[in-house]
Amino acid sequence: MTRNQDMGRRAAVVLCVTAVLMGPGSPAGASAGTAAAGQSPRADALVYIADLHSDTVSVVDAGSGTVVGSVPVGDGPDSVAVSPDGSRVYVTNSAADTVSMIDARTRKVIDTVAVGDEPSRVTVSPDARNVYVANVGSDDVSVISTRTGAVTDTIRVGRAPLGVAVTPDGCTLYVANAASGTVSVVRTATGTVTGTIPVGGGPTALALTPDGRHLYVSNLTSDDVSVVDVHDGTESDRIPVGDQPAGIGVRPDGRRVYVADIGSDTVSAISTRRRAVTETIAVGRGPNGLAVSPDGSRVFVSNFDADTLSVIDTSTGRVTDTVAVGDGPTGVAVAVAVAVGVTQGKRA
């Protein structure tokens, strides 16, 4: 990476869990299921992982922990997001300055869209009409129309934008600016920045609670998570977590926030009521991407330095499976599977 080298290469590959499914109305992912937390994940739920060094997206069956596909994409895939109906997967290719659009049924790239410099995080609007891409090298956000596959707007934000998240109503986009220590507030209807919220050091990933009232921000360089009151537009709390927190996600019931701690090789589980870490879970080396299953029963964590995906049972706080994926896994997203023409699975 040509910019942000002071935060290290991995700072640019950590996942924004706005691509995580947080249940109905979530900004980036498909979730038709409403099973209570603690139930086993659906057998047809799929986990998509961007493999930075393999230039692929690994597809894992969430129920069996089996790799069921590997999709070649562009150079340096960093982040991944899924459309609300699960039919499309969007991948940022950080070294190619493009976004790959994958048909989930055929598991093939059907379009490639040129965006800004070094695209990092990506998310999809709740109505599936727009894809938002944070470009860390050009300090802006590209807006892609899913109907035409063209960039319809470019929004200037803070320095080195990484995390992106859209409110459940689709009206507001939040952007974490790693080099500015801020979150930009964008009105999606006009593409204008309406506010800037100071947070911790090196804000990297964002996650909204399902009710849209609070925004959680992982701060890579200050080793904490900011809690932003969306109504007031201010930081209301700061929660210490592990070393170099990156990917972040919220359970559908809003009771827990999970954070991947790159430097600690752990996941911190935060109680949203107590606003404190209640569990610290050991995973693989270099955890950065993180996604919560649609029913809240599992957390999926990509381990960049181990080339694996850790599966955590949220009811026990234990790792129940470790799946070998591509080289340098980064972004993670979960979706309910759509029908696939041919599926050839293998146990990793």
* 342 Cβ neighbours under 8 A, 6+ residues apart: none
User: Cα–Cα distance between 331 and 320 in angstroms, integer?
Assistant: 20
Most confident of 35-44, 206-215, 331-340: 206-215
Contact 276, 259 (CB under 8 A): no
Counting residues of the chain whose pLDDT is more than 70, the rounded percentage is: 84
User: Cα–Cα distance between 164 and 173 in angstroms, integer?
Assistant: 7
133: confidence class by pLDDT, cuts 50, 70, 90: very high
The closest of 274, 268, 255, 142 to 209, measured between CA atoms, is: 255
- What pLDDT shows up at residue 42? 42
Mean pLDDT computed over 123-146 = 97
Among 110-124, 151-165, 329-343, the least confident range: 329-343
Q: Is the predicted pLDDT of residue 119 greater than 80, yes or no?
A: yes
The closest of 261, 306, 259, 308 to 285, measured between CA atoms, is: 306
Q: Is the predicted pLDDT of residue 13 greater than 70, yes or no?
A: no
Q: Is the predicted pLDDT of residue 218 greater than 70, yes or no?
A: yes
User: Cα–Cα distance between 221 and 10 in angstroms, integer?
Assistant: 12
pTM: 0.86
Q: Is the predicted pLDDT of residue 224 greater than 90, yes or no?
A: yes
Q: Is the predicted pLDDT of residue 27 greater than 60, yes or no?
A: no
Mean pLDDT computed over 120-142 = 97
Q: Is the predicted pLDDT of residue 201 greater than 80, yes or no?
A: yes
182: confidence class by pLDDT, cuts 50, 70, 90: very high
Mean pLDDT computed over 10-37 = 33
Average pLDDT along the chain:
87
Conformation bin of residue 128: beta by default, left when phi > 0, alpha when psi is -120 to 50: left
222: confidence class by pLDDT, cuts 50, 70, 90: very high
- What pLDDT shows up at residue 44? 60
